[in-house]
Amino acid sequence: MKIHKEGRKILFFTLLGLLVVNMLLYYFNSEHLTFNRIFSGISFIVFLLILQFFRSPYRNLLLHEDLVVAPADGKVVVIENVEEPEYFKDTRKQISIFMSPINVHITRNPVSGIVKYFKYHPGNYFVAWHPKSSTKNERTTVVVESLAGPQVLFRQIAGAMARRIVWYVTEGDEVNQGEEFGFIKFGSRVDIFVPVDTEVKVQLGQKTKGGQTVIAQLKTTV
């Protein structure tokens, strides 16, 4: 397992800061050895928690042009038909995956194809399961014209803890299913919008693995 590039600087400065604080405690607070040891233990746990958040495990990616794979690790929290107001401006089937702080936070392309639309939206930081998070939180919107024909829209959505969304795609890019398109730091969710006649392959509450779990099957139009 590797450490994701988005976490290397954070991990370096976190480790450096914790080491400095612990060294100062042992130097200036040497008479309270028990407190110093407890603080060192807490520092170690904090660093391990941040370390696991930025892990980048190897994945055997599932590739098929009419399948939609999970763009992230997490849990399915929404499956419903909704009005998509930004790009399609009609009814679409929405599938949402909530990413807890202990999940891998790499976000992956759910389909292969061409990026037809991209937009970054600054916004609020409601908790990721809040109904307003999809339209009010900081987020990105990506639309890919899949190899199967239908266009698939997906959003990275910041949550209460997430304060930075990173993306690696722009309009016109050719993207491959399962490859990274971004990263969300410290907890959030991803929404996917597909045509209403798409066959959903997951259930509410089901756990997903990015790049591996099949969440839907598109109706082929090409």
Q: Per-residue pLDDT for the chain (222 aa), expressed as one digit of tens each? A: 677 677 677 788 888 888 888 888 887 877 888 887 888 888 888 888 778 777 777 777 777 889 999 999 999 999 999 999 999 999 999 999 998 877 878 889 999 999 999 999 886 655 555 555 566 678 899 999 999 889 999 999 886 555 578 888 889 999 999 888 888 876 688 999 999 999 999 999 999 998 899 999 998 865
Q: Which amino acid is at 162?
A: A
DSSP line for 172-210: T-EE-TTSEEEEEESSEEEEEEE-TTPEE---TT-EE-T
- For this structure, is 30 an active site residue? no
Q: Reply yes or no on domain 67-217 having CATH 3.40.50.80.
A: no
Catalytic residue among 43, 112, 146, 188: 188
DSSP line for 99-163: E-TTS--EEE-SS-EEEEEEEEE--B---TTSTTHHHHBSEEEEEEEETTS-EEEEEEEE-SS--
Tokens found for residue 74: 């997490």
pTM beyond 0.75, yes or no: yes
Q: Which residues pair with 19 in a beta bridge?
A: none
